[in-house]
């Protein structure tokens, strides 16, 4: 399984980087490497030095794509995407993949911490191979990935209401807190604000 460099520093072991693999007409797997010390400051004794994550980006989610591109300062006019700084047209789906990934419109599919970066990347590569199996992929997309219980698919689509309502019905304190933040949209769906 071959991943190609997407973006990052020349010295990605120290400052991070991303690799991509196209898995469908509009879907991509992304492996991201993050150096904990660079991202958060000094490390304590025995702490992991790196994080490697695997996620999926789906460019067919047009609303999330537009939001992601706008967050990067791009303008959308009559379906055309323009860079607002110089008025030139923005091209390439890889720029869109990076925008969506950076904006958080991604399905988290795996996350590993440790100090042996090659071993961490090997875990991500093996998981990517496992996801070629339809059942494995569906299991991963249906797995809760955050404190309110959003599945990877819901997280990718930026869906909050379903996980919050489900979490409240299950007594999830994090979902209860999230409902207070979301406020009116949750109350309109039959759950009183807290």
57-94 tens-digit pLDDT: 999 988 888 888 888 877 776 666 655 555 555 557 88
Collapse the DSSP code of 166 into the 3-class scheme (helix H, G, I; strand E, B; otherwise coil) and give the result. Answer: helix
Is the residue at 154 inside a domain?
Answer: no
Residue 194's pLDDT is 42
Partners of residue 81 on adjacent β-strands: 76
* Domain that includes residue 178, residue range: 160-194
Residue 92's pLDDT is 76
Question: Do both 13 and 108 map to the same domain?
Answer: yes
Question: Do both 133 and 184 map to the same domain?
Answer: no
Residues 73 and 34: their CA atoms lie apart, in Å, by 25
Question: Do both 109 and 173 map to the same domain?
Answer: no
Is the residue at 74 inside a domain?
Answer: yes
Q: How many independent structural domains does the chain possess?
A: 2
pTM, to two decimals: 0.81
Question: Do both 190 and 94 map to the same domain?
Answer: no
Is the residue at 79 inside a domain?
Answer: yes
Question: Do both 60 and 137 map to the same domain?
Answer: yes
Is the residue at 109 inside a domain?
Answer: yes
Residue 186's pLDDT is 53
Whether the Cβ atoms of residue 172 and residue 150 lie closer than 8 Å to each other: no
Is the residue at 27 inside a domain?
Answer: yes
Question: Do both 46 and 25 map to the same domain?
Answer: yes
Is the residue at 91 inside a domain?
Answer: yes
Is the residue at 155 inside a domain?
Answer: no
Give tens-digit pLDDT for 24-36.
Answer: 999 999 999 999 9
Residue 193's pLDDT is 45
Residue 25's pLDDT is 93
Question: Do both 44 and 113 map to the same domain?
Answer: yes
Residue 97's pLDDT is 92
Residue 151's pLDDT is 86
Is the residue at 11 inside a domain?
Answer: yes
Residues of the chain with pLDDT under 70: 1, 44-45, 77-91, 161-163, 165, 167, 171-177, 180-194
The neighbour count for residue 148, using CB atoms within 10 Å, is 23
């Amino acid at each position: 399984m071959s991943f190609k460099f997407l973006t990052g520093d020349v010295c990605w072991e120290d400052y991070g980087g991303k690799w991509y693999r196209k898995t469908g007409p509009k879907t991509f797997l992304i492996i991201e490497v993050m150096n904990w010390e660079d991202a958060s400051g000094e490390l304590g004794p025995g702490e992991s030095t790196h994080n490697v994550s695997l996620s999926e980006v789906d460019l067919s989610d047009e609303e999330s794509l537009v939001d992601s591109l706008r967050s990067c300062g791009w303008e959308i006019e009559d379906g055309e995407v323009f860079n607002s700084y110089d008025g030139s047209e923005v091209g390439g789906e890889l720029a869109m993949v990076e925008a969506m990934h950076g904006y958080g419109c991604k399905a988290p599919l795996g996350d590993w911490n440790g100090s042996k970066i090659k071993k961490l990347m090997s875990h991500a590569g093996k998981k990517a191979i496992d996801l070629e199996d339809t059942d494995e992929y569906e299991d991963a997309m249906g797995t809760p990935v955050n404190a309110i219980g959003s599945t990877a698919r819901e997280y990718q689509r930026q869906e909050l209401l379903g996980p919050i309502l489900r979490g409240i019905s299950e007594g999830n304190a994090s979902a209860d807190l999230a409902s207070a933040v979301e406020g009116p949209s949750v109350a309109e769906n039959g759950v009183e604000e807290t």
